[in-house]
Structure 1
Amino acid sequence: MTTATIELLAKDLNHQGGVHCPSPLADMKLWNSHPKVYLDVARTGQAKCPYCGTLYKLKQGEHFQGH
């Protein structure tokens, strides 16, 4: 199984510093392929979906400034 890596800009994260998977950012056509999960990207700069293995990470040089 090949897993995708999605590079994110800080503006792609929600106000808490995360994203949901499945995500339109990952160009996922099968929106119902697994339950929607919240992934905290801001904490470490990356997060991996426990269902599909897609890795979401901040592009090099991007920094999240949370509220």
Structure 2
Amino acid sequence: MSLEDFERFRQRVLEDVSLQEALRARMDVPAFLALATRLGAEHGCHFTAEELRDLMRDARRSWLGDWV
């Protein structure tokens, strides 16, 4: 995965309320990952569900490390 692709998609989501709403509507992780990878690809940003899961896990660890 290109981290640049993920960052471009993340920035697009931050700027687009409809993308935010679509991603917020998904409650379970597998559905969220599937939707995020599909929407990313539709916006020219290619990453896999596993890559996204790894990024989420790393962000969670970082956040916990700040608070524990």
TM, length-normalised to structure 2: 0.30
- Bigger Rg, which one: 2
Higher relative contact order at CA 8 Å, sep ≥6: structure 1 or structure 2?
1
Structure number with higher helix proportion:
2
Structure number with higher strand proportion:
1
